[in-house]
Amino acid sequence: MKRRRERQARDRGFTLVELIVVVTILALLMGLVAPRMLKQGKNAKIKIAKMQIEKIKTQLERASLDVGRYPANEEEFTALTQNNTGAENWNGPYLDKGDLLDPWQKRIQYRFPCQHGGRHDYDLFSTGPNQVEDPGEGGDDVRSWE
């Protein structure tokens, strides 16, 4: 008889109150941790966009050394992904098509001539997480001139 009670007590499992306490603790932890993890994801995408813009700048310099000038418009900028554009001394493709997309799957913008007085003759930028071009400072755009 004593063995039966010990066995029943051992096999009983968790009570409903114990399960509710555990679920509540897990929910509280997720409420604290999830916002921090989401913020880290946003910061990571911004860093990736900065690295993509740096890669594109490097390839723009390489193309301009080969051809003798920067792309004059968006169409010529897109041509950096092609094997042969007919341009003299073309040694492309200089970029993959995926290199022209930011981490939010929107196209990285190219403007020639430069409108922001940077070190280069062109502007490169991503509209960032909000996908809207933010004039001036303080927005979430990722820009080559900053």
pLDDT for 19-69, tens place per residue?
Answer: 888 888 888 888 877 777 767 777 888 899 999 999 999 999 999 999 999
pLDDT of residue 85: 75
Which domains does the chain possess?
2-143 (3.30.700.10)
User: Which of 98, 102, 92, 93 has its CA nearest to residue 51?
Assistant: 102
Average pLDDT value over all residues in the chain: 84
pLDDT of residue 1: 59
Return d(Cα 106, Cα 35) in angstroms, integer.
24
CA dihedral 79, 82, 88, 91 (to 10 degrees): 120
Residue 93 scores a pLDDT above 80: yes
Return d(Cα 114, Cα 123) in angstroms, integer.
5
**pTM exceeds 0.85:** no
CB contact set of 140 (below 8 Å; sequence gap of 6+): 46, 128, 129, 130, 134
Is 102 or 29 the better-scoring residue by pLDDT? Answer: 102
